[in-house]
Amino acid sequence: MKKLGIDLDGTLFRTYSTLKDEFEKFWKKPLDVAKLRDPQTISTLPPKEMEWIFDHFQKQKSYEVPPYPYAVSVIRKLAGKYDIYFVSARPQIAYLDTKRILRNYGILGDGKHLVLCEKPDKPQVYEALKFDIIIEDDDQNLLVPNITGYFFLRPWSIPIKKSSIIVVKSWLEVEKHLVGGG
């Protein structure tokens, strides 16, 4: 059975769009979510706003956000064909809640796995666990040799061209490729 790695935030769950909505409600100004991509761009935010964002991700409710449309139903279909791992850069304090949330959606159970790691380590985790396929929204995590990547194009992501990367805009496209024989 092929091994499939699925990112959580921005890929399965609407984490960043929810953060954007809450930020804009609190600060009464727009947030360019693309600035959250890495420490250099996030550091261009005013210190109080950066602190608010970091604090936001330390709260349990920041991870209790809705999934993208069709994500759960497609993952359920994939479960019969793939050994599924959920891989995330969420902090370790979110492990039990994340596990509970995935179980409540019926997509984490027997034979499914949850792996939390540091953001910079994600490509090495994908490589070390020898995934055949990964589904991600962060282009940097797809630069792993010998792995097919499905790249969700989001407002904060940068499209990359690499023969092993397939750009998708929805979970229904993932379904066509992976359930429909792709």
Q: What integer pLDDT is reported at residue 46 of this predicted model? A: 92
Judged against a pLDDT cut of 80, whether residue 110 lies above it is answered with no
Amino acid at 103: R
* Of 63, 81, 101, the domain-final residue: 63
* Same domain (yes/no): 20, 92: no
* Same domain (yes/no): 78, 106: yes
* Same domain (yes/no): 113, 136: yes
Q: Which CATH number fits the domain that encloses residue 101?
A: 3.40.50.1000
* Same domain (yes/no): 137, 123: yes
* Same domain (yes/no): 33, 75: no
* Same domain (yes/no): 9, 19: no
* Same domain (yes/no): 101, 129: yes
Alpha-carbon 168 to chain mean position: 14
Domain that holds residue 48: 15-63
* Same domain (yes/no): 100, 126: yes
* Same domain (yes/no): 121, 156: yes
- Find the Cα–Cα–Cα–Cα dihedral 165, 169, 174, 177, rounded to 10°: -60
* Same domain (yes/no): 51, 73: no
**DSSP one-letter code for 88:** E
Highest mean pLDDT among 5-9, 17-21, 159-163, 164-168: 5-9
pLDDT 10s digits, 31-59: 988 888 777 777 888 999 999 998 998 88
pTM, entire model: 0.91
* Same domain (yes/no): 6, 20: no
**How is residue 93 written in tokens?**
């304090």
* Same domain (yes/no): 50, 76: no
Domain total in the chain: 2
* Window from 45-54, 65-74, 125-134 with minimum mean pLDDT: 45-54
Q: In Å, what is the CA distance from 80 to each residue of 87, 136, 181?
A: 19, 20, 13
Q: What integer pLDDT is reported at residue 65 of this predicted model? A: 94
